Chain A
């Protein structure tokens, strides 16, 4: 039969392989387009997360509710409270009449700070007796109080400059014999969203890419279509590339969406090269797709694939430096973090968007991402079951 040699000729070679990948790509893309819920999820997850994280989260909160117990009516007491208000961290909204009531305000959560200025504070201060002001901070959430406490320490230098003049000038704190200059580079106003929004690009891509590819192979198994697919002359790596590539496009769209919204809504800039950012984000997308695909070949149901994705997503979220400072983690946690793609991507995306970093600055992280992708893809192809055994 002439058809025999014909099909052997047609199906061999690089071009034939590319055409099969393309066929799978087209098929996956049509299926994706028909799946309205998935499609909506892909657009809504980034938007929702971006708006929530961008507007609701603030690691350096101000205007915190503060209760005061003032037992001294000197101008020192009034100046101190005025200086506290001026820092913007404290919103003096409650006045206690006893220590017990002050404690109650803190315990009940009505106030995060309690300030007690004892009786004869002004008099004792002038006498040089170093009277004490007690500030109670609810430190159950260190992030909430950290910035305010730091601001409080800065007060002592200047708070009584108006009162400590003339004969009392000797009591004024002395200036150190040098000046300390702190440059808060890249984010001078210490705005959390400048840190969070670029990180969100990575987190959202990790989550959506993992889940979508995680489901792709198990879906074929659950729907019974795998049997036909396996009986056709297509090789595992061709199936993988064909299934992954539509999501590279999807990931690219998500990234564009996030960057545009971040720029328009939150004024997050892209200081460095946009082209470099896009290229490295695509690499990161591929890394996550490979992981998701590997899960897909191991899991026997869509539910399992979903669970594996979450299992992988959590450490990414917690150990990558997205939520908590990477350098603040113990050595072992940093070591685990170095193995996660999001860790490297966060350095890349924050580097390019906020710091204007170039490829040369980011080489090590790019290499790590590339190696990670390669390893995951190799594992996925090796794991792919070519038979129904």
Chain B
């Protein structure tokens, strides 16, 4: 193992300045990221922001155009064979064999990782995942939720030190998502590091740390609280009648950067607290809505980050 891991053993993913393009403009631009051992690290961003490309570079499936880094102390350019032994990668699209049963799929994985007792390990995984009733069903016949359980089961079967999960809960029902996250937390508790990409804000809030990526660049990273605080966003929550009309009016005001309806509430945010106060003052006095000072949500922050990028590039 390299000297880096012995001096700072807690860093599992350590990459600097990763850039990757596929002939066109870069999909990932100058990406730097450090993930500590035992953490659940959420990787957020809109579609096409470079999340999948980043995950693929981390597990050796893509070679970065420039930039350096290590994953579990192995060089992501030259030691991909070692990385593959220790990393479990769950693809966005189900990529096990539809024409094999759950048991056959898991046994295949167990054998490829040279587990000592592939049959026994497979049976244990089937029991742990609660797939015993379906063990001999073809994977192609399973529903989305069960496929996702199977894919996760296949990933953790060889007991990797690092899990890379690419939008694992897309299209999965809330109960299955809850179970899935409970499992992830249990694994992290046992010392596994998990990097998980997602679109869902509630999932982001279940992560120890998050990074927000858009247009191939990381815009913010840290704990959820740090990211929210780092955005320096002032937010008011408005309740009362005629919110739709108010929404339209507020949007055009200078100092109001974002207005978003949340059920019976309206979130009104601005980057400059003083300007926001000045802009909304007449509405607070006039009524009839009730204004309360609130905390911006993670979603407020991400939408604001996105719009800043647009403002800069426009």
Contact = CB atoms under 8 A, between A and B. Distances in A.
B108 interface: yes
Contacts of A185: none
Q: Name, among B62, B96, B111, B159, the residue most crowded by chain A CB atoms within 10 Å (CB to CB).
A: B111
A234 interface: yes
Interface string A1-42: 101100110110000100110111011001100110000000
A129 interface: no
A225 B85 contact: no
B104 interface: yes
A132 interface: no
Contacts of A20: 111-112, 114
Interface string B133-157: 0000000000000000000001000
B259 to A, nearest CB: 41
Interface string A191-228: 00000000000000000000000000000000111111
A235 B114 CA distance: 13
A225 B95 contact: yes
Contact of A231 (B59, B94, B191): B59
A134 B45 CA distance: 90
B158 interface: yes
Nearest to A235: B81
A1 B159 CA distance: 10
Contacts of B80: 386-387
A388 B53 CA distance: 10
Given A7-B113, A16-B114, A27-B100, A228 B95 contact: yes
A389 B95 contact: no
Contacts of B89: 228, 231
Nearest to A15: B114
B153 to A, nearest CB: 13
B63 A387 contact: yes
Contacts of B129: none
A11 B110 CA distance: 11
Nearest to A230: B61
Q: Is the interface of A mostly helix, strand, loop or mixed?
A: helix
Contacts of B49: none
Given A11-B114, A230-B61, A30 B100 contact: yes
A102 to B, nearest CB: 65
Contact of A389 (B63, B81, B158): B63
Contacts of A387: 60-63, 80
B109 A31 contact: no
Given A224-B95, A225-B95, A1 B114 contact: no
Contact of B113 (A232, A235, A388, A389): A232
B97 interface: yes
Contacts of A228: 89, 91, 95-96, 154
A224 B93 contact: yes
Interface in B57-115: 59-63, 80-82, 84-87, 89, 91, 93-100, 104, 107-109, 111-115
Given A1-B161, A11-B114, A227-B61, A27 B91 contact: no
A224 B91 contact: yes
B95 to A, nearest CB: 4
Contact of A233 (B61, B96, B99, B113): B113
Contacts of B36: none
Contact of A34 (B61, B86, B99): B99
Q: Which 8 A-B pairs have the closest CB atoms?
A: A23-B111, A228-B95, A231-B89, A10-B114, A233-B84, A233-B85, A16-B114, A11-B114
25 contacts: A7-B113, A7-B158, A7-B159, A10-B113, A19-B114, A23-B108, A23-B112, A24-B108, A26-B107, A27-B108, A31-B99, A223-B98, A224-B94, A224-B95, A227-B91, A227-B93, A228-B95, A230-B61, A231-B87, A231-B91, A232-B109, A233-B113, A386-B80, A387-B61, A388-B62
Given A10-B115, A228-B95, 14 more contacts: A8-B85, A19-B114, A24-B108, A26-B107, A31-B99, A225-B95, A225-B97, A227-B61, A228-B96, A230-B61, A231-B59, A231-B87, A388-B62, A389-B62
